[in-house]
Amino acid sequence: MKIYYDFRKKLYGGVWEIESDMPYADISEGKNLHLLDIPFCICHGKKQRDIIYYYGDISIEFLSHNIFTFLSQYEDVSPYLYPIHIKDVDDVYYFVHNLPEVKFINRNVYISSTSYKTEIPCFLLQDNLPPFFTLNDTRLNVITPEMKTAMIKAKITNIAFKPVYGVSSMEEYYQLQKEGKLFPEN
């Protein structure tokens, strides 16, 4: 088992939330690059941070140029981070799209004693794994432990980390599951 991290926004009040004239259903689908052609506006919040989100759906995140520059130190992220335009804001934010995907193997696995907690997400390790990727059919932004440490040191704002495990085989996954090592600590 190798640990990786999903990074996302830390929820606290006052952070910019943006919206556009595009129907919400088109944006929430996450596959529509027409986002790049429409202007957004700040509709809620007063605090500019490195991760902002779409008003009404905090799972749709936009990353600052600061994060773009940080991630670019590890790989070319221009094929995955698309700039958007926010009215009356000079700083550039990016929509994450088309990240390299790896196989998510334990979607919807719940801890037996409760229906609210799940196992830590797991994926199958593969050769030539990029330093920035997603688990298939999710919005997880997965990075290496070294990148997590560097992000903290770089003082990226409004960021939280959750563990994600890479396993070499389904047998390893089942063994870790049997040993109870996939459950988050209380």
- Residues 6 or more apart in contact with residue 136 via CB below 8 angstroms: 101, 102, 103, 104
pLDDT score for 186: 47
Residue ranges of E strands in 97-175: 101-102, 122-124, 132-135, 142-143, 159-167
DSSP class per residue in 14-65: TB-EEE-SS-HHHHHTS--GGGGGSEEEEEE-SB--SEEEETTEEEEEEEEH
Cα 154 to Cα 52, 80, 150, distances in angstroms: 18, 21, 6
Amino acid at 108: N
pLDDT score for 109: 61
- Cα 100 from Cα 63, distance rounded (Å): 17
pLDDT score for 50: 95
- Cα 152 from Cα 157, distance rounded (Å): 9
Amino acid at 178: K
pLDDT score for 26: 64
Cβ burial 91-126 (10 Å sphere, 16+ → b, else e): ebbbbbeebbebebbbeebeeeeeeeebbbbbbbbe
- Cα 138 from Cα 97, distance rounded (Å): 11
Q: Are 167 and 122 in contact (CB under 8 A)?
A: yes
User: Digits of tens for pLDDT over the chain (186 positions)?
Assistant: 999 999 988 877 788 988 887 766 666 565 555 556 678 999 888 989 999 988 876 678 899 999 999 999 999 999 999 898 899 999 999 988 889 999 999 876 654 554 556 788 999 999 999 999 999 988 889 999 999 999 999 999 999 999 999 999 999 999 998 998 887 764
pLDDT score for 36: 61
